[in-house]
Structure 1
Amino acid sequence: MTNIQDARSLADMWAMFRAGAIPPHAPNYQVDSMRDAFYGGAWAFSLLLSRAFARGDDAGSDVGEILDTMQEEINAHTMATVRAVQISAEEAERVLAIVKHGMPLTDAEEAYIRTLLARDDDDEPPNQVQ
């Protein structure tokens, strides 16, 4: 599976993540650790949403708040990761091509990724996709 829109299960998402983020000849312990982390993240996401839905009639706003908070956390993690990595403009374009291959991006998402990849190390990263 190569298109995120075709994914129907966590196993499908794991297979795409495995193919795109872990070297093909990575040792088994690395693959196992990454799979545990992947499913641990999915479990945490599921738990947060389940608790929000269980709160009652006004759960919709709780779910929205949880999703917003999680998006902020994901953006912060992305920024920290990008801050730690120095790559060339050519490598940045390759990264963007890989991301776009895995999932279609809105213009705003693509612009956000370009901003992250193109900034100078002293620049403060943007907070989120506009």
Structure 2
Amino acid sequence: MTNVQDARSLAEMWAMFRAGAIPPHVPDYQLDSMRDAFYGGAWAFSLLLTHALSRGGAEGIVKMLDTLHDEINDHTMATVRAVRISSDEAEKVLAIVKHGMPLTETEEAYIRTLLARDDDEEPPNAVQ
């Protein structure tokens, strides 16, 4: 399986993440830590989703997802700010992201803006 949208389980998502983001010869302890973090994130998300549903039904879930979207954008901007890459490398990053998760034109433009930004520039507003 190579497309995130085809995944039907966390195990399938983990297999794609491992193949795409973790070098093949990492030590077992590092692989175990990464897997624990991956499943820990899924567990945290399921708790947030359950709490949002119990507190506010569909509206609670929408609010929780909006908050998570903002947190993910903030994390992405902080990560991109810390990394300096060439325009060729930026295109490779964008291709990898698009392969795993098809992007809207707005999302792709946002990522291009992040990747093309000078380190001294303030990050653009998060994509909505």
- Equivalenced residues, count: 128
1:116 aligns with 2:104: no
TM-score, L = length of structure 1: 0.94
| Identity score, percent | 77
What is residue 81 of structure 2 aligned with on the other side? 83
Aligned-pair CA distance for 1:127: 3.0
What is residue 90 of structure 2 aligned with on the other side? 92
1:40 aligns with 2:40: yes
What is residue 17 of structure 1 aligned with on the other side? 17
Quote the RMSD (CA, aligned, Å): 1.0
What is residue 71 of structure 2 aligned with on the other side? 73
Separation of aligned partners in 1, 2:127 and 2:31: 30
Q: Which runs of 5+ in 1 are unaligned?
A: none
**CA contact 1:112–1:129 (8 Å) conserved in 2:** yes
What is residue 124 of structure 2 aligned with on the other side? 126
TM-score, L = length of structure 2: 0.95
Q: Which runs of 5+ in 2 are unaligned?
A: none
Q: Which amino acid aligns with 1:49?
A: L
